[in-house]
Structure 1
Amino acid sequence: MSKYTSFPEPIEDQNPFQDPAVTQHSSNTEYATLDLYNPFDNKNGPPPPYEATCPSAPSVPAQTPPSRTTPTEPRNYGSYNSQTVVNATTAELLRKQEELEKKARELERRERELESHSLGSGASRQNNWPPLPSFCPVGPCFYQDIHLEISQTFQRTVTVMYYFWMFSACTLLLNLISSLAMFCVDPTGGVGLGLAILWALIFTPCSFVCWYRPVYKAFRSDSSFNFFAFFFIFFAQVITYVIMTIGIPGWGFSGWIVSLAALNTSVPVGVIMMINAVLFTAQTAMGVVLLKKVHSQYRQTDASFQKAQAEFATGVMSNQTVRQAAATAAQGAFTGPR
């Protein structure tokens, strides 16, 4: 135990306050020492806590590491981000796809045209209009294919004319219904009902044959004769539309005069006839617009009145019935009595 309780021999002339650790600690003003603390001064309070600090090292300015983009980090390309670039690329691909589809449809149409022309003069196309069921004893009367026979420039116009003919047929059918309703309320209006039936039976097929088919043939083969036939007949048709819109009593048209007079007899019947009068008005306005539209496109073609005359003469002379009648007349005149 003596080795644990023995103290080293004191060294003479050794000042404990000159120890290097003590002098270094006391020379550093950053440490709280007893020299800076007065226990009898009540204003200062307890001594500050001891904070061990490392020796100050020379400050090195911090360097900002260079920014590097990772493969998963979107890069900035000026004012356009990556999403904008992707959207622009997608829109460009969609536009090219639409152009390719349009070209494919045009090539398919031309291929069908070549196939139809390769049938020859002796071959005939199978009629497809009107689209009647197979069990019907009456077959289709015309061949019609707007996308095949009409050039792409005039396809829209011919399609609108076809829908306008269907609208006219539906308007005449509604006129028949409104006249029948008026006859049920007022039996004295039997003449109007009979004429409404007659107009529906006459105007529906005749309008298709007399002005729709000519405009179809005119745009199909750039026929001057069919253009002039359409202008003449369709102008008369527009005048008829005006008469329908007016609604003269006893003529079988549910125009404005007849419909306003029908309100005094029966309000529901008068409302139905007024709806028909509105349709007649819209039909007249559309007819005028379409007439001007066809005329503007007619001026873009090579059609003329001289060509129309030449086509008429050629058509008449190429008709088998006309040639046979002319040959019979000439033979009769040659072999007649002298």
Structure 2
Amino acid sequence: MPPTPAVVDDTRRPMTVRLAAPRGFCAGVDRAIQIVERALEKYGAPVYVRHEIVHNKHVVDRLKAMGAVFVKELDDCPDDRPVVFSAHGVPKSVPATARSREMLFLDATCPLVSKVHVEAERHHAAGRHILLIGHAGHPEVIGTMGQLPPGAITLIETVGDAETFVRPVHAPLAYATQTTLSVDDTAEILAALKRRFPELPDPHKEDICYATTNRQEAVKRLGAVSDLVLVVGSKNSSNSVRLVEVAQRAGAVAAHLVDDAAQIDWAWFEGVRSLGVTAGASAPESLVQGVIDAVCARFDAEVSEDDGLRETVTFKLPRVLTA
């Protein structure tokens, strides 16, 4: 007897799904994760990691299962086990303390964040007061401000901060930015600063990293043609949160941040015919595929990928892990 044919649900609503390109892991995130993985291979478990290596719950949970132990401070680490510093960077006091305790430490700071640190030190050495555009409490901002003595850097979070900032007496000014900011928001803040302080010099290169910029440009294209945009990423991921904001400004009727497919509220899809999907720089592609699979299970989805930039940037691992 021939098998019973599968029942086709002709009631499923058509859905156009566009995937942003580029999306997901950037070179700095990929490098940081590899550093933890290689350290576990070379030294065995446990390997300690100061703060989340990158801001993604699924990545952190997977590394925990492999033997990584995530801690808040070096005080939580034993002297005789390796410790990895997160991709966001750390204040200078952290590696100094690790050296004083003769710890084996591996610095997974993104090279583009390290570039901002070097830039801040150069400005300080030249006698300039530094305006750091960024978000208070973000690990990257804490790390950058911790490169210099207290008072050497003023944090500027908003246009309002730029308008009310009081220059230290006779101090020439410079600025730097957190690497994961909204390009458009940062431009507004810079415009306010330049209006008040026309002599303010430009950085050598744009501090907002290539991956943040590329992902924001890609989601702008999605937002302009999508009823709904889903951004795969964690709530504590600055670049992921910015993607939601950029999608909404670009014209998406709605945009939501989800850690994974399980967080999708299907009520968001009422009346939706076109869906855009992207992922923050610390979100694995497997989570994006999970979202696509969930959408395809409920709708008659036609999935395509935008013809966006193809990133080829890679960063070298620490020599101690490749020898």
- TMscore range, shorter length: under 0.3
> Which has the higher relative contact order, 1 or 2, with Cα contacts under 8 A spaced 6 or more apart?
2
The structure number with the bigger radius of gyration is: 1
Per the normalisation by structure 2, the TM-score is 0.25
Question: Structure 1 or 2: larger helix share?
Answer: 1
